[in-house]
Structure 1
Amino acid sequence: MSDENKDLGDKAEDAFDNAKESAKEFSEDAKESAKDFSEGAKKTANEFSAGAKEAFSGAGGDNKKVLAGILAIFLGGLGVHKFILGYQKEGFILLGVSVAAWILSCVGVGLLFVWIPGVIGLIEGIMYLTKSDEEFYNTYQVGRKPWF
C-alpha cells in the first residue's frame, strides 16, 4: 500500500507542478493581452482626441452661431448657450434661476418662474439663428453683448 500511496503522491505533485506551470503561462498570456489592449486603447483615444480637437477647433462664427442657437432653443433654460459663447456669469444666472425655480416649484411659488429661463433661451435662440454670420460674430463674439 505504501508504494501505491507514493505513486499517488508523485502523481499529485506532478499534477500540481503542471497546473502551476499552466497558470504561469496563462498569466503571462493575460499580461501580454492586457498590454496589447492597453496600447490599442491609448492609440484609439489619441486618434479620437485629435479628431475632436480638429472638429471643435473650427467652431468659429457660423458653427458657434448654429450650435448656440439650437442649444438656446432646446436647453436655453439651463444657460448652455451662454457657456458656449463664453458668458459664464450669464450662464450661471440662467442655471441658478432654473434650479431655484424647480426647487421652489415643490412649494408652488416656483411654478411662476419655471418658464422664464426657457422663454429667454427660446428668444435668444431665434435671435441667434436669424442674424447673419457676420452680424452674429460682431455682436456676440467681438462685441460681447450678453443679453438679447
Structure 2
Amino acid sequence: MENNAAEQGKTWAIVSYITLIGTLVAFFMNREERNPFVSFHVRQALGLGLTWYIFGYFIGGFDSWMITISFWVFFMALFLYGILGAATGKLYEVPVLGPFYQKLFGAIGQ
C-alpha cells in the first residue's frame, strides 16, 4: 500500500476506533474515495466493537469485578493496539482475531 494512502486516511482510521459511532462515521466518510488504509482499520474496529458488545453481555452475567476488570483491560489493550497502528500508518492486525475480522468484513471497502 502506498504511504500516501496511509497519510491521507490516518484521521479516519483513528476515528474508526472511537466507539461504534466512530466506526460508522469513518465508514461513510470513506465511501467516496475508498482509501484501503481506512477500510482496513474500519474492519478491525468494527470487529473489535461488535466482539466487545457480544462478550460484554455475557461477562456482565458473572457479576465478578475480577472478570470484568480483566475483560476491560484486554479489550482496551486491543483498541490501543489498533489506534497506535492507525496513528503510525501501519496495517497491524489485532492479535488473534485480526485475520478473522479481515475475512468476515472483507466486503467493506471493496
The structure, 1 or 2, with the larger RCO (C-alpha pairs under 8 Å, 6+ apart) is 2
- TM-score, normalized by the shorter chain, greater than 0.5: no
TM-score band, normalised by the shorter chain? 0.3 to 0.5
- Normalised TM-score (structure 2): 0.43
- Normalised TM-score (structure 1): 0.35
| Larger Rg over CA atoms | 1
